[in-house]
Chain A
């Protein structure tokens, strides 16, 4: 972008601010450009989805039949543990950070993220973190196998990989904290003049709140795993009963992080869906303000419900009741959101391009996950459901057709802006239908096997569960293979093959990102743009929202 102001100094540290990208590999290593970093995050995330996906196929293949088929129980447990860690910390979280990098500056009309150097470090920590984590697979004693929740004393039996697990978690934590700080500072300091907080795109709102959750909870996780490390190697007894510690205390600390973490995984998804549905319903988002308040209340409530993961540890009755009712309370703001999405579609002139299909599937299937969550929230029945496949079904409904579908929807929605080329709508639809069907084939039967008593994290099972498991395994393989359609479609865009995208791309899309050309130039909004209700997608006459 040759630009008139190209000659002012470099004092503010954006070294590559005024020229195009460098050439070669150093461009990617040294880049502080939010679009480059967004791309790197997304490529990293999808590589991790692939690795984590392979692990899940090992699990599903082993569960094809009862008894032991392919792997021994120890390796099976390494797979369940690593699958979760890789998908959560390597897939979903970096993917959302990638989307934030690409979109938040463009949505608020800033030229870049507020702290571009920090942004670069934040990304480049991740490959090291996951090299550490994945290298444990080749060590004496293998990878961690005690579950992604790392409960002591079991996790303390991990072999040589144990310190690698802990340091990997530390690095992932640092990376997501830097990403979060960047989002907060960008959103709060660099908004275009005239964009008040309640005129900010909802994706920025949900990410802002997510960022606060990250800043508040990742350090707590770092503390918890540090205590594990000192318990194992330095003779402390935070969680060791023989030394006066209490292993249940780990569960409290872990879930104090862990429950807000599940909202870290879903709030940005809410933002994506709240962006896409109005675009294809060609109507402003219904209840914008209530969306913001609902997101904030979900975030607040997420700090007082953690022990719903621990109903069976032997809490006093008052505790069971408190955590049961506070958990159920979360369904209220969540219900507000689902209502608003449906009301946005109500009487809209809807079209069903691929991003919209994924967004609608999100609303339906995420709600199923919300309902199973409500069932799990009932303390007396959780005694039956806990640690069964019912829980596995619950969190996969909220995470796969929830978080992951929203990431896919976001990529379809914005990739014409990123690359300047339309993806193939035909293959997009094929990808959608295969994914939407396969995800249900995979996870729906797990509700039934779970209710009937099939435990999670065990490679063998009673013969009565064979049918459910075989259906599940078939679904999993179809889902995995279907994702290559998506990858191919996106590579086609990145290779600039396909129909050229217009600046507007989608007729009903609103927001500052659609006021710049497609593909978006390397530098956008060097001068703050002018904003008004029309551009931002608010009703432009009469009372605002």
Chain B
């Protein structure tokens, strides 16, 4: 009896180890998810790297792509946030600048962070930006408004079935945490 009981207790501890391992696995799913998304680009996140303007030479004049801009303010903030034009047409390889405008309509200073996303998912890794207000968080004085240019280029390797790309920005209020920006050049990771 007591021999089988000792075996039972040992068996119990072994299962306990599996529990601990699975708890760890739950956390590992985070980086794993991020890695999969980065390799495949399926969640529409951008690579976060600042594109090198000099490296872009070839313009594919045979294709014309519609790029649409969507602007959202998170969490019911009353801020004004819009793109100067709602869409434009570009050739792949053509460096383009679009102005965005945001005004802090609140009576207090805020720090805002924009998070970009691209749809369809398979266009995400072909959208390169050389300049973007989303690279850093943006401080706004009470009532202050700012024009913010975005310089981007679609690389000519954009899949042939894509004729419309949507670039969306959501502004989050990060006044309280005011952490370094998400999409810092060269810095990647889901945890800041």
Contacts and interface: CB of A to CB of B under 8 A. Distances in A.
A227 interface: yes
Interface in B35-67: 37, 40, 42-45
Interface string B63-78: 0000000000010000
A249 B33 CA distance: 7
A242 interface: yes
B12 A215 contact: no
Contacts of B186: none
Interface stretch (B89-97, B143-151, B171-179): B171-179
B30 A238 contact: yes
B113 interface: yes
B191 A246 contact: no
Residue from B7, B25, B170, B190 whose CB has the most chain A CB atoms within 10 Å: B190
B4 A190 contact: yes
A114 interface: yes
Nearest to B40: A316
B133 interface: no
Contacts of B185: none
Which 6 A-B residue pairs are closest in the complex by CB-CB distance? A223-B26, A242-B172, A219-B23, A219-B22, A114-B8, A244-B182
A223 B27 contact: yes
Contacts of B189: 244
25 contacts: A11-B2, A12-B5, A114-B5, A114-B12, A115-B8, A118-B12, A190-B4, A216-B18, A216-B22, A219-B23, A219-B25, A220-B23, A235-B179, A237-B190, A241-B172, A242-B172, A243-B174, A243-B192, A244-B183, A245-B191, A246-B37, A249-B34, A249-B190, A253-B26, A316-B122
Contacts of B160: none
Given A189-B4, A314-B121, A184 B74 contact: no
Given A11-B2, A238-B191, A217 B29 contact: no
Contacts of A13: 5
Contacts of A189: 4, 7-8, 11
A190 B177 CA distance: 55
Interface residues of B, number: 49
Contacts of B170: 241
Nearest to A252: B33
Contacts of A319: 42
A222 B18 contact: no
Contacts of A219: 19-23, 25-26
Interface in B135-192: 170, 172-174, 177, 179, 182-183, 189-192
Contacts of A181: 12, 15-16, 19
B159 to A, nearest CB: 12
A197 interface: no
A323 interface: no
Nearest to B7: A189
A351 B27 CA distance: 52
Contacts of B182: 242-244
A251 B2 CA distance: 45
Interface in B91-119: 113, 115, 119
Contacts of B173: 242
Contacts of A238: 30, 190-191
A334 interface: no
A16 B192 CA distance: 54
B88 interface: no
B44 to A, nearest CB: 8
Contacts of B40: 316
A185 B12 contact: yes
A177 interface: yes
A242 B74 contact: yes
Given A219-B25, A220-B25, A237-B190, 4 more contacts: A12-B1, A181-B15, A224-B26, A316-B121
A182 B170 CA distance: 49
Interface residues of A, number: 46
B22 A243 contact: no
Interface in A221-264: 221-224, 227, 235-238, 241-246, 248-249, 252-253, 256
Given A188-B11, A223-B23, A314 B119 contact: yes
A7 to B, nearest CB: 14
Given A237-B191, A243-B177, A227 B27 contact: yes
A244 B190 CA distance: 5
A315 interface: yes
Residue from A236, A242, A319 whose CB has the most chain B CB atoms within 10 Å: A242
A177 B16 CA distance: 9
B29 A220 contact: yes
A12 B20 contact: no
Residue from B18, B22, B122 whose CB has the most chain A CB atoms within 10 Å: B22
Contacts of B42: 315-316, 319
B18 A253 contact: no
A253 B29 contact: yes
B11 A252 contact: no
Interface in A307-331: 314-316, 319
Contact of A249 (B1, B24, B30, B119): B30
Residue from A114, A180, A248 whose CB has the most chain B CB atoms within 10 Å: A114
A256 B192 CA distance: 25
Contacts of A242: 74, 113, 115, 172-174, 182
Contact of A236 (B20, B26, B191): B191
B142 to A, nearest CB: 21
A252 B29 contact: yes
A119 B182 CA distance: 47
Contact of A246 (B20, B43, B174, B192): B43
Contacts of A118: 12
Contacts of A316: 40, 42, 121-122
Interface in A373-394: none
B18 A235 contact: no
Contacts of B12: 114-115, 118, 181-182, 185
B190 A222 contact: no
B123 to A, nearest CB: 12
